[in-house]
Amino acid sequence: MTANYYNQAKYLLGVAEMKQLPDDTGFEVAFAGRSNAGKSSLLNALTLNKQLARTSKTPGRTQLLNFFVLGDDAERRLVDLPGFGYAKVSKAMKGRWQRVIYTYLEQRQCLVGVVLLMDIRHPLKPDDLMLIDWAKRAQMPMHLVLTKSDKLSRQQQIKSLNQVKKSLKDSGLNDFSLQVFSSVKKTGLDELYGVLDGWYEL
């Protein structure tokens, strides 16, 4: 499938509670990451739509999960999960976000994969490891994306990739695919489209 398919993404809705979720049919891929990991930028690059993920930005917003549809039939959706670890929100708020994220992940039958974004310079923070560990236990397909690769030289990028691989292997979490990505340079888009095509059965 070409980028054209992803370029037709449209905002569907934002939900604050599980009972507001769209029908649990078709295919959903969720995008997760710490705040500032580059999730909005990646979603914008993926869909060639600068406005797409802006809706998800305000901390403390009531809409916690944002859904975007691909294609005409709304059967394939992208889900923008709230960024973990936003420094300026209260502990209670963080707890609520985490509950919402994991409730969604655990209940959603149509979830076919999770893309976890990590800044290439700060990968595998505790929130990331918790999600990777969850995916392994839940047998949920996961794809790891090291973002902002343009911040490092090619050599440093390879070093970071290898360090992450080794670290996951040492923790018994090496089941997942891994790539580098830059929204600025648009590198890694084809690799990401390939993973999504597989999950969406395109």
Query: Which residues in this chain contact ligand GDP in the complex, by CB under 6 A?
Result: 33, 35-41, 83, 147-148, 150-151, 182-184
Q: How far is the CB of 170 from ligand GDP (least distance, A)?
A: 27
Residue 69 to residue 78: CA distance in whole angstroms: 6
Which one, 44 or 113, has the nearer CB to ligand GDP? 44
Q: How far is the CB of 97 from ligand GDP (least distance, A)?
A: 13
Residue 121 to residue 124: CA distance in whole angstroms: 10
Which one, 174 or 187, has the nearer CB to ligand GDP? 187
Q: How far is the CB of 158 from ligand GDP (least distance, A)?
A: 17
Q: 57 to each of 52, 65, 132, how far by Cα in Å?
A: 11, 11, 23
Closest alpha carbon to 98 in 133, 127, 141: 127
Residue 193 to residue 14: CA distance in whole angstroms: 24
Which one, 56 or 112, has the nearer CB to ligand GDP? 56
Q: How far is the CB of 19 from ligand GDP (least distance, A)?
A: 26
Partnered with residue 145 across adjacent β-strands are: 117, 179
Which one, 47 or 183, has the nearer CB to ligand GDP? 183
Residue 30 to residue 26: CA distance in whole angstroms: 13
Task: Give the phi and the psi of residue 33 in degrees, each rounded to 5.
Answer: 165, 165
Q: How far is the CB of 184 from ligand GDP (least distance, A)?
A: 4
Q: 27 to each of 14, 73, 88, 154, how far by Cα in Å?
A: 17, 11, 33, 35
Largest CA distance in the chain: 47
Which one, 36 or 167, has the nearer CB to ligand GDP? 36
Which one, 138 or 152, has the nearer CB to ligand GDP? 152
Give residue 62's identity as a one-letter amino acid code.
T
Q: How far is the CB of 80 from ligand GDP (least distance, A)?
A: 8
